[in-house]
Structure 1
Amino acid sequence: MPTIGFHASHEQISPARLLRDVRSAASVGFEAAMCSDHFEPWSLTQGHAGFAWAWLGAALASTDLRIGVVTAPGQRYHPAITAQASATLAGMFPGRFWMALGSGQNMNEHITGDPWPDKKVRQQRLEECVQVIRRLHAGEEVTHQGLVTVDRARLWDLPETPPPLLGPVMSVETARRAATWADGLITTNQPPERLKELLGAYREEGGTGPAVLQVHLSWAATENEAASIAMHQWRTNSVGPPAAWDIATALEFDEYAEQERVSVEQVGGTVNISADTGQHAQWLHEYAELGFDELYLHHVGQDQRAFIEAFGADVLPQVRDT
């Protein structure tokens, strides 16, 4: 049976409200949580971008959940700062914190004013950052010259066990590369054959650790309402790479989605849309059968209360029973 977690979307919900949401999710039976880490939302209609690291401390302190974050060291965050922040959380909450380290998106990183590198350079920069972070977590003093620069950095407070570092993957190439450094894999819901391909590439290259899936979904009392929520909140997130990596602002994402005339069918390719909790339970069961160990449910609406209650009562028991 997979672990079923709650995804906290900082782009869509204010930090205080999101803290109440994650507490509610814990109270109805969600077993874990994860969150995004954004400086800019994907759309003006989303309208939020709280500081994930401050929120993580509060969420870990006020629940018993294991909680992770998807973050990007290398531009907005110096890898030594990412190492320090993650070591502190892992030290305060042993065994309850993990992070997934990605190559980043221009929407969050352009604020530094530094040029936005191409994907190949970003991947190389990420892998340098991973090396720096692992060495710092091991207690070394680190000096490094490369795509990132580190001068005599050392962490003075280390956890007994460093936090796991997962690899976010959206292509076979990144899945294979993540197998060389990551303690697990994380991706988002896609067609089953695509998910099998990503997971297979990671395992074939020797990747171990948990396979984690972030499941974007839209649920409401009616099919039309569920589709409307998905279109209103997640239309811009259905923009694929490289545009998703390279667009800089929420306004530009809105303009791009309008220009591309993103349809509800396209959104349905990235969001599981249904008013039927049984259908959602079936989708989750199918993901588990593919080999995913942890499923983090992200209802793409901004009001999480009804979703948390309905899925706690109907969906989590169905998945556990199967």
Structure 2
Amino acid sequence: MSRFGYTLMTEQSGPKQLVEYAARAEQVGFDLLVSSDHYSPWLTSQGHAPYAWTVLGAVAQATSDVELMTYVTCPTMRYHPAVVAQKAATLQILADGRFTLGLGSGENLNEHVVGEGWPAVQTRQGMLAEAIEVIRRLHTGDLVDFAGEFFQVDSARIWDVPEQGVDIGVAVSGDRSVETFAPLADHLVAVEPKAELISTWNGVPGAKRIGAEGRAVGQIPICWGPDEAEARELAHDQFRWFAGGWSVNADLPTPAGFAGATQFVRPEDVADNIPCGPDLDKIAEAVSAFSEAGFTDVALVQIGDSTQEAFLSEAAGPLLEILRSS
């Protein structure tokens, strides 16, 4: 049986609201809380981008049992991997072992802000692989000196190291990224329900097999609401950027760029890819694609800050019942 998560969407809600939603999501019965980690929203209509790590620290104290995860952090440009290692270790202690560090190669939208440009994808993946090595070494608690192709670490040590360590999940999208990161990660992260990602991962020497030691954590946007037409309009207003796919989305630098790239995307185009409206069976069917593909976990993104309270109060519990019964 798959486990089901709730997404703390930092692009569409303020920090206090996110902590409130996290506590409510645990009460409703979600197994997992995943948080995006952005410097900017994709579209100005979303309107938020609080610092994910501060929010997660507060969430760790506002919850007790639900698991936590970054979905995902880029540990290469905006953050040096030595800093990611420190804050992941601290969060794991605050969360009493409930935290998984989800990592990815990043998006121009967030990483360009430090003025270091935006490398080609091959370079970004090389940087991510090296960053994972740095983080792993620092999580031993030993004194670390490291001189790599992309990063240097001088006499660094994490002084507060969690006893259970910190599991690492890595976002992948195709064979090359799977083959690169499967031996380095504990868990697979992906936003498309592709069974071949899991079969390829499980075939890589040294990979933790999905369903045994490793997990595959997916994510799907939904826009539940009592009026289907209104839900479609909301999904179009705030999530039409999703239509571009990650090969495009990773390279656009600003919300204005996303607005321009999606200016001809219609509400019906968005609704073709995102289940909208009150039909919980329809939503459950879309979510089940991840379970059928072999994913062990799938996190739901309920679109729109204005919809969160109603979703958590009215729809989330019955939806979880449908998902678990199927």
TM-score, with length taken from structure 2: 0.92
Unaligned runs of 5+ in 2: 209-213
1:94 CA drift (Å): 2.6
1:265 CA drift (Å): 4.7
SS of the aligned residue for 1:246 comes to: coil
Report the counterpart of residue 108 of structure 1 in structure 2.
110
Q: In 1, distance between residues paired with 2:150 and 2:224? A: 43
Report the counterpart of residue 290 of structure 2 in structure 1.
287
Contact 1:94 1:161 (8 Å CA) reproduced = no
CA-to-partner distance for each residue in 1:17-41, whole Å, 9 max, x for gaps? 1111111111111122010000011
Of 101-110 and 271-280, deviating more is 271-280
Of 110-119 and 285-294, deviating more is 285-294
Matched, 1:216 2:249: no
Matches within 5 A, 1:39-78: 39-64=39-64, 65-69=66-70, 70-78=72-80
1:172 CA drift (Å): 2.6
Contact 2:104 2:128 (8 Å CA) reproduced = yes
Of 265-274 and 280-289, deviating more is 265-274
Q: In 1, distance between residues paired with 2:168 and 2:89? A: 12
Equivalent residue letter for 1:68? M
Q: In 2, distance between residues paired with 1:255 and 1:101? A: 28
1:270 CA drift (Å): 4.4
Of 100-109 and 276-285, deviating more is 276-285
Report the counterpart of residue 196 of structure 1 in structure 2.
195
CA-to-partner distance for each residue in 1:218-267, whole Å, 9 max, x for gaps? 11112212211110110123222433111111122112212xx1233543
Matched, 1:251 2:262: no
Q: 1:283 to 1:115 in 2, by over 3 A?
A: closer
Q: In 1, distance between residues paired with 2:172 and 2:35? A: 16
SS of the aligned residue for 2:301 comes to: strand
TM-score, with length taken from structure 1: 0.93
Of 265-274 and 205-214, deviating more is 265-274
Matched, 1:225 2:224: no
Runs of 4+ in 1 over 4 A off after TM superposition: none
Contact 1:219 1:274 (8 Å CA) reproduced = yes
Identity %: 35
Report the counterpart of residue 321 of structure 1 in structure 2.
325
Aligned length: 316
Q: In 2, distance between residues paired with 1:245 and 1:269? A: 22
1:321 CA drift (Å): 2.0
Q: In 2, distance between residues paired with 1:214 and 1:177? A: 22
Report the counterpart of residue 144 of structure 1 in structure 2.
146
Q: In 2, distance between residues paired with 1:318 and 1:133? A: 39
Please report the RMSD computed on the Cα atoms of aligned residues, expressed in angstroms. 1.6
Unaligned runs of 5+ in 1: none
Q: In 2, distance between residues paired with 1:114 and 1:74? A: 11
Matches within 5 A, 1:302-317: 302-303=305-306, 304-317=308-321
Contact 1:99 1:163 (8 Å CA) reproduced = yes
SS of the aligned residue for 1:50 comes to: coil
